[in-house]
Amino acid sequence: MAKSPSFQDIIDNPIPQISIVDVGAMSEGQERYDKLLGSGLATVTGFEPNPEEFARLQGRPGPYRYLPVFLGNGEPATFNVTRYPGCSSLLLPNPEVIDLFSTIGATLAEDNFRVVRSEEVQTTRLDDIDDLEVDYIKLDVQGSELEVMRHGTGKLADTVVIECEVEFMPLYRDQPLFGDIQVFLRDQGFVLHKMIDCAGRPFRPFQPPNPFLPMSQLLWADAIFVRDFTRLDAYGDDALLKAAAVLDVVYGSYDLVTLLLGEFDRRRCTQIRARYLASLRQRNLLLHFLNIKDHC
């Protein structure tokens, strides 16, 4: 079977190297951005302070750099280690909310959100990390995403795509929710583009066949923000191509890609969008507006 052409092959135009930043790089499977790496379009700087996970990531082959750093406000903080490492956070779990839902909990010995120990740690501001460009950032740090971005506005000034885990109910005490993050990012020049991996749980004691499948209550999702596409003047030429590559390869946002490539054509008198549209008619595209996460 013939290999599908890469995004760069399709548009037949050089794409500047994309700098990916992964905040909370603990791996639970294949990363969405891996296809960018396979195409040679990107490098990754990951932040993962968990010692065991950091050691495992260090042995990963490829264009990766990992730093064992807690990102935050630059002050000391308490890291709450939970029974399931992926629920550990600089914030305390909120049993009053968590214990309402099946398959998650924060009180019983077997509950994933139960705190098993707390550690005093030092946080570092994203803006204080040397030698770091942020074209595309993924944040998944259990309620501290907004704190990281508040202390990284300098780095975010050149960012084109943000993937941020957001909550709609406070699973952690005093955590910012989706609305807080959206307002902050709007002030930084970003708009919400789409939601992916939307997740929830049934209220106890309801017991559906699949206890991970949301019934009615939305709890969390990965929100994709992009630099405001109603103000294309805010995009540099390189930013247009970087955003287009991420949105095509990672998120399948083919319609927005055509808008960005059209603006590049207008500035450079090229015909990239026409080539891209022709390729879409030949590709086996997976088109969907929203996906539900129905597993742990």
Give me the domains of the chain, ranges plus CATH numbers: 16-280 (3.40.50)
Rounded to an integer, the average pLDDT of 60-88 is 95
Give CB contacts under 8 A, 24+ apart, made by 228-236: 228/189, 228/190, 228/191, 229/191, 229/256, 229/259, 229/260, 230/191, 231/189, 232/259, 232/260, 232/263, 234/189, 235/160, 235/260, 235/263
| Residue 243: partners with Cβ closer than 8 Å, 6 or more residues away | 160, 161, 226, 227, 235, 260
pLDDT at 28: 74
Model confidence pLDDT, tens digit, residues 175-227: 999 999 999 999 999 999 999 999 999 999 998 888 888 889 999 999 999 99
User: What element of type H or E holds 185?
Assistant: helix 178-187
Model confidence pLDDT, tens digit, residues 113-161: 999 999 999 999 999 999 999 999 999 999 999 999 999 999 999 999 9
pLDDT at 290: 64
pLDDT at 62: 86
Contact assessment for residue 272 and residue 13, using Cβ atoms and an 8 Å cutoff:
yes
User: What element of type H or E holds 156?
Assistant: helix 153-156
pLDDT at 187: 98
Model confidence pLDDT, tens digit, residues 29-57: 789 999 999 888 999 999 999 888 899 89
Rounded to an integer, the average pLDDT of 250-254 is 95
Q: What percent of the chain has pLDDT over 90?
A: 83
Rounded to an integer, the average pLDDT of 56-64 is 88
pLDDT at 39: 83
Tokens of 165: 């885990």
pLDDT at 1: 47
